[in-house]
Amino acid sequence: MLTRKQHELLTFIDGHIKATGFSPSFEEMKDALDLKSKSGIHRLISALEERGFLQRRHHRARALEVTRLPNVPIQIATNGDIREEGSFSPTVIQGDFSPRLPGVRAAPDAAAVQLPMYGRIAAGQPIEALRDDGQHIEVPIAWLGAGEHFALEVAGDSMIDAGILSGDTVIIRKGESAETGEIVVALIDENEVTLKRLRRRGNSIALEPANARHETRIFPVDRVKVQGRMVALLRKY
């Protein structure tokens, strides 16, 4: 799943190419997304490249190619929420609302749910130890699929090139499996938790940062347990 800013940028680039035949400039992208600097655009483009939505054609100026669009189109509402577009537009439902998702509770707005906040992700603590049952965070229900979800606050800069900054809140779908290339919460040796991109290499697992200043760590399969995979990101400005 793309973050809202990633989806906004991908949509803008795709529309600009279709309208003009060439990709927009970094200045145009910065203005379109109302960002203060071009460095944010660089991070978003790198994240879209990593996920296979964009491709840069080197040795050519302003040469970005949209290689694919999200499988499920989303609509960004005027209030900032992101929801999936479907064959119908639901109206407000009067009465009680009980989402059929384990691990969540209904927020005051029926379009959102409250997820448990597991605190600040940091090495040295199992994920369950971070949980504070008194803390919850409200997210649009359209961001969530089936299964149990929780939220984590990110500490550190190891994933900045994937568009994940220190202080961001990531939404995690609980589970013990993940595809190679997905960003996961991984438990190492039963006591260290980290947020990294997972790569499977034979009988080993590589936990890959998205920052050249950090090193990829490689472990035998039995030393790493996937706690869940990232499905969305929240950021406060």
CATH number at residue 73: 1.10.10.10
Residues in the chain: 237
pLDDT number for residue 185? 92
pTM of the model: 0.53
pLDDT in tens, 191-234: 888 899 999 988 999 999 999 999 999 999 999 999 999 998 88
Q: Residue 45 domain-assigned?
A: yes
Same domain, 116 and 73: no
pLDDT number for residue 55? 84
Interstrand relation of 112-120 and 149-153 (parallel, antiparallel or unpaired): parallel
The answer to which of 88-97, 102-111, 159-168, 208-217 has the lowest mean pLDDT is 88-97
**Maximum distance among all Cα pairs of the chain, rounded to whole angstroms:** 59
Same domain, 123 and 223: yes
130 near 121, Cβ under 8 Å? yes
pLDDT number for residue 82? 41
Q: Residue 76 domain-assigned?
A: yes
Same domain, 58 and 124: no
Same domain, 68 and 111: no
Mean pLDDT of 112-122: 78
Catalytic residues, which ones? 158, 196
User: Which domain covers residue 142, as residue numbers?
Assistant: 105-234
Percent of the chain surpassing pLDDT 90: 21
Alpha-carbon distance of 66 to 57, in angstroms, equals 11
Tokens 């906040």 appear where? 117
pLDDT in tens, 27-60: 888 888 888 888 888 888 888 888 888 887 765 5
pLDDT number for residue 221? 94
Average per-residue pLDDT for the chain? 76
Report residue 128 as tokens. Answer: 């369950």
Same domain, 158 and 204: yes
Alpha-carbon distance of 210 to 165, in angstroms, equals 11
For residue 77, pLDDT over 80 is answered with no
- Domain endpoint, select from 29, 50, 84: 84
Report residue 79 as tokens. Answer: 């209030």
Q: Residue 11 domain-assigned?
A: yes
Same domain, 130 and 217: yes
Same domain, 19 and 115: no
Q: Residue 99 domain-assigned?
A: no
118 near 170, Cβ under 8 Å? no
CATH code where residue 228 lies: 2.10.109.10
**3-class SS of residue 218:** strand
Same domain, 130 and 220: yes
CB-based contacts of 192, cutoff 8 Å, min separation 6: 123, 124
**C-alpha distances out from residue 78 to 2, 6, 34, 72, Å:** 18, 17, 15, 19
Same domain, 122 and 175: yes
Same domain, 37 and 144: no
Alpha-carbon distance of 42 to 65, in angstroms, equals 15
| Number of domains the chain is built from | 2
Same domain, 226 and 146: yes
**C-alpha distances out from residue 150 to 41, 51, 204, 229, 232, Å:** 28, 22, 27, 10, 11
Classify burial at 174, counting beta carbons within 10 Å of its beta carbon; exposed 0-12, middle 13-18, buried 19 or more: middle
Q: Residue 54 domain-assigned?
A: yes
pLDDT number for residue 123? 47
pLDDT number for residue 78? 37
Q: Residue 96 domain-assigned?
A: no
Instruction: Give the end-to-end CA distance of the chain in Å, rounded to a whole number.
Output: 21
Q: Residue 180 domain-assigned?
A: yes
Same domain, 223 and 114: yes
Q: Residue 91 domain-assigned?
A: no
The answer to which of 16-30, 123-137, 170-184 has the lowest mean pLDDT is 123-137
